Amino acid sequence: MFVLVGGSSTWRDRKVYVESWWRPNKTRGYIFFDVEPSEEFQPWSRALPPLKVNEDLKKLKIYPRLRNRIHTRIYRSILENYMLKQDEDVRWYVTGDDDSVFFVDNMVDVLSKYDHREKHYIGMFSETIKSNFYFSFDMAFGGGGYALSYPLVEALVEELDNCIERYYYIWGVDHLQSMCLADLGVDLSLDKGFHQLDLRGDLSGFLSSHPTAPLVSFHHFGSLEPIFPSMDHPGSVRHIMKAANVDQTRIVQQSICHVRATSWTFSVSWGYSVHIYEKIFARSYLKRPIETFRPWLRGRPPLYMFNTRRVSRNPCEAPHWFFFDSIEQENDGVVTSYTRKFPRNMTSCSFFGNTSADPLASIRVFSPKTPKPGRKVECCDVGYEGADVANIRLRDWFPVSLFHGLILLLSLPIVIIAYLFVSEALGIQILIYISFAGIKIRDIELVSRAVLPRFYAADVRKDSFEVFDKCKRKVVVTANPIVMVEPFVKDYLGGDKVLGTEIEVNPKTMKATGFVKKPGVLVGDLKRLAILKEFGEESPDLKMFYDGHEKTYYRFILEKDSCLEVVYRMYWLCYHIHTYKKTQVSLVNGISMGGGASLMVPMKFSVVTEKTVFATPEASIGFHTDCGFSYIHSRLPGHLGEFLALTGARLNGKELVAVGMATHFVPSAPWLISCIIPFIDKHIKNPPISIRALES
């Protein structure tokens, strides 16, 4: 039941707002005027809420002392509406002004979350701090509307006139209401979809980053600039209702998507606007509104009850603005179109080497016909091929069903057994079948673009990528399905092609069958055959491959040069000495310089003698200290590390112990070495390089 209040003097300008959302014969309620409307509006239109004239307040004993008689009239409209006895099956009362715009479907959705049999007071405070400070942070601002459950209305009308007498000195009707309800033991429940809009100026920044909550109401339309460029206030409200009448669940709901190839970020406020940023921005940043507006009351910051972004003239931060133009319903969804209403008049964000979005003239957004769940954030994908139109498709964050995830989890032991004890190909085939069977190929592609890249990227080392990026032709070979890997390889790594396992797709349903196409899972000989087929007799100059035994390493091998292999093995050994969990002991009875020093110092126990000579002489040949010694030098006391690195100065055994690079000093003893060598020969076959060096 809507309880609306208006005035005969303002009705000419505000009538359009009520007409835009009221549904004759569907919505219930009344609009209360101070006096009968002029002949211009007689007879009263049936397309509007039924009209009632408020009772004369002079009958109240407290009338002479009332501070704000207009607001008292507004407040008593709830009582007068109740006294009409037209409340059969009514669950909620919703109050509003004649310049309030309600989104009825969203209102029903929001109120359905509450038990109407209990006492509830639902609304939202003002957007500005000063308005809340002057009145109350605990009240709902009535212009944006608030809802009262019917049991609460029944309790309120019994005390409403008494409450007016008790708080006759209160100026604001909404403040009075909150105090009366507090006396009844009911406090405000906040919902971000109600909007008082205590703002002035251009509201576009606010509407382009609406909170993740169904839009329930607007207020103060006449005090703001028209929300669409080149339109007046009536035209603007009618225009946004074109989209709202098709899908209220998505109206001004924000979705963020990225195009890595051009470094663009799209921010879609469905049914209102689309922003394009020539830089990648996170949703945590874009959910803050651009401060195109001003507060209702001037003052010093902080001004608003939410965080904002300042209007920027930086081309990497300022968006390209596109506003809602039209809406069409198709068989499989809804298409909204957005056009550029004015040029940005800035250079492109060339500092980051990004692509200019100036050529774009319009954007089409495809959304499902199914309603969006109330507070769920939708993601989106962008299709852009260099023309003046970009296509955006809204989607859920995770289209893969929980059923597949549960089956995959339960079958994991079978997959592991097949992979380890039968064949790698069989294990992967089982995994593919369980993961993909019956899922639309489009959904698999969406997950591959939105979810998997961040997991793949975690395993890519910077030095690996730098080498990969310098190659002219970049081909990735994998046993994984191509559909999973290709978006990451092409969009993030800049690769040219992916050789991998191809999954079968039913051409009629466009769903994966769960099986793989011939030749099968790309492992072993099939992988080598795929490389031979791709490159022919000409072998690649550079191969980068993942070492399955070392999860964090990517290896590089230049087939025509073994030097890189030597460097790799040396760094591999240094890394494991630094990170090895078991106790290691080095016995140094001679020269330990450069690479030898990097093998000695990291060990848990380093035993040196009077014959030990240590140095890091790399600087003398124009090279930096090698094999992790820059890490060790930087942790020596004082400036000793810098001195040793730059001069290559030598230290003896006792000096090494003094500075902490050795743990024990013992005099050299020939008999000790003569005992160790036979032990090594007897018990260790093919001793590693460090032990062979000790022998020599």
pLDDT single digits (tens) 58-70: 989 999 999 999 9
Alpha carbon 161 to chain centroid, angstroms: 50
Identify the CA nearest to 516 among candidates 500, 530, 502: 502
Q: Which amino acid is at 254?
A: Q
Closest CA to 280 of 323, 317, 322: 317
User: For 315-324, 345-354, 478-487, which range has the lowest pLDDT when averaged over its residues?
Assistant: 345-354
Lowest-confidence range among 393-397, 548-552, 638-642?
548-552
| Mean pLDDT across 329-337 | 88
Q: Strands 51-53, 29-33: parallel, antiparallel or unpaired by DSSP?
A: parallel
Q: What CATH number belongs to 2-196?
A: 3.90.550.50
The residue ranking higher by pLDDT, 161 or 562, is: 161
Q: In whole angstroms, what is the distance from residue 680 CA to residue 382 CA?
A: 65
Task: Specify the higher pLDDT residue, 165 or 511.
Answer: 165
Average pLDDT of the segment spanning 605-633 = 82
Query: How far, in Å, are 238, 581, 623 from residue 601 at the CA level?
Result: 77, 15, 20
Percent of the chain with pLDDT over 70: 88
Task: Tell me which of 11-20, 194-203, 530-539 is least confident.
Answer: 530-539
Distance (Å, whole) CA 124 – CA 145: 8
Tell me how many degrees the CA angle 363-364-366 measures, rounded to the nearest 5.
145
Distance CA 153, CA 120 (A): 9
Q: Span 276-286, mean pLDDT?
A: 91
**Cβ atoms within 10 Å, residue 546:** 12
| Per-domain residue ranges of the chain | 2-196, 247-395, 402-534, 580-695
> Which of 608, 551, 557, 591 lies closest to 575 in space, CA to CA?
551
More reliable by pLDDT, 636 or 163? 163
- The CB-side HSE value for 143 (13 A sphere, CA atoms) comes to 17
Helical packing angle, 173-183 and 69-83, nearest 10°: 50
What mean pLDDT comes out for the span 26-37?
94
**Lowest-confidence region among 96-110, 242-256, 389-403:** 389-403
Q: How far is CA 556 from the centre of its chain?
A: 35
**What pLDDT score was predicted for residue 674?**
61
Cβ–Cβ under 8 Å, residues 210 and 195: no
Q: With 70 as the cut, is the pLDDT of residue 239 above it?
A: yes
And the tokens for 117? 């049999």
Look at residue 337 in the predicted model and tell me its pLDDT: 96
Q: Is 257 exposed, middle or buried (0-12, 13-18, 19+ CB in 10 A)?
A: buried
Q: Tokens 């060790």 correspond to what residue?
A: 632
Grade residue 683 by pLDDT with cuts at 50, 70 and 90.
low
**Mean pLDDT throughout 92-108?**
95
- Average pLDDT estimate for 26-42: 92
pLDDT, average across residues 223-245: 94
Q: If one looks up domain 247-395 in CATH, what number appears?
A: 2.70.130
- Residue 362 pairs in a beta bridge with 339, 389
Q: Give the SS3 label for residue 620.
A: helix
Confidence (pLDDT) at 557: 37
Q: How far apart are CA 419 and CA 425, in angstroms?
A: 7
In this model, does residue 529 exceed pLDDT 90? Answer: no
Rounded Cα distance, 163 and 181, in Å = 9
- Would you state the CATH architecture of domain 580-695? Alpha-Beta Complex (3.90)
Q: Which range among 97-106, 198-207, 441-450, 577-586 shows the weakest confidence by mean pLDDT?
A: 441-450
Closest CA to 235 of 221, 223, 247: 221
- Which residues are bridge partners to 29 per DSSP? 2
Q: For residue 61, what are its two tokens?
A: 């004993």
Q: Residue 687's pLDDT is what?
A: 52
Mean pLDDT for the stretch of residues 638-664? 88
What is the chain's Cα-based Rg? 37
The residues with which 392 forms a beta bridge, in sequence order, are 365, 382
Q: What is the pLDDT of residue 596?
A: 78
> What is the DSSP pairing of strand 362-367 with strand 389-395?
parallel
pLDDT at site 676 = 61
Is the pTM value of this prediction over 0.85? no
